Amino acid sequence: MEYVKLGNSDLRVSRICLGCMGFGDPTIGQHAWTIGEEPTREIIRRSLNLGVNFFDTAIAYQLGTSEQYVGRALRDMARREDVVVATKFLPRRDEEIAAGIGGRQHVMNSINSSLEHLGMDYVDLYIYHIWDYKTPAEEILEGMNDVVRAGKARYISIANVYAYQLAKMNALAERNGWAKFISVQNHYNLIMREEEREMQLLCREDNIAQTPYSALASGKLAKRPGETSLRQEKDAFMHFKYDATAEQDNRIVERVVELADRYGVEMTQVSLAWLLQKVESPIVGATKLHHIEGAVKSLDLHLTAEDIAYLEEPYVPHNLSGVMAVNKPIMSEDPVWVTARRNK
């Protein structure tokens, strides 16, 4: 295993992060393809044996049962100081807004719930999962700073965000002496490269780490044409993200297959070897042991500059998909801009 410092922090994380969205009670929550607690424990045990020390979950994953499974497994299998645990919180619900619960209190309530699920006193990385357009940026950021000051999180991060939003939030944090975001978790892989337009440049300039999700495009970059899985059959969100661009994306997938055959490796290794040249620690989901084993093997594959160019050449611009497509700013009502005008 290789390790890297995560942005402007002292967190030393494995180059592969185990994404835990596939863990949790499959009878509840958003996803019917998740796995139960015993197979979750097997995958976490194997990950630890392979040197993985970075685990990413969220309060939204299967109504908190992902956090519960991950927390119990790590408490049984590892010393707390040897692992880096990240979790995420969601925007305020309409019920909270109606009840007068502000952004700061929402963030604190959320971390308290996550820590209870995990059975831990703190997380290493607390992540703003989806931008909350109904709550002023200052309220969220000050709430996250409260969490850090209370010792309930060591560092903070953000996900599903535009470059302007990340830059604005860190500028607000610097102005107020609050904790700044040390990493960003956005949608980025070989067939979805829109992060390269602005976000990647911002991250390089400010030493903000990239820990992208959907590293294998929900399996599209790991399966040969005709192969399928329970997730590909049941994950409607995966189809929402990728079906519209399937024809153009398949040209890239074909080249992944070609290089995998040339090097005698799995597609996973080619796809992740490309991504590992771009980011610090991609988040790789696993619902079977060979998923995490294949991900770790990608560290042994070194693609040439010609390989990289060959994989990248067919790419065409994509519209944003997934969370970024449905959670859009409304400039006249966006609290970020309202607040900015008020403070001008």
Q: Where do we find the tokens 């109504």?
A: 63
Active-site residue, from 61, 69, 128, 242: 61
> Which residues neighbour 215 within 8 Å (Cβ) at sequence distance 6 or greater?
19, 188, 189, 271, 272, 275, 282, 283, 284
Pairing mode, strands 181-185 and 153-159: parallel
The DSSP H or E segment spanning 182 is strand 181-185
Q: Under a CB-based contact definition with an 8 Å cutoff, are residues 18 and 29 in contact?
A: no
Q: Where are the alpha helices (DSSP H) in the chain?
A: 37-49, 65-77, 94-98, 103-118, 137-149, 163-176, 199-206, 230-234, 236-242, 246-263, 267-276, 289-297, 305-312, 323-326, 335-343
Cα 267 from Cα 227, distance rounded (Å)? 12
CA distance 286 to 263: 23
User: Residue 61 catalytic?
Assistant: yes
Residues marked as catalytic:
61
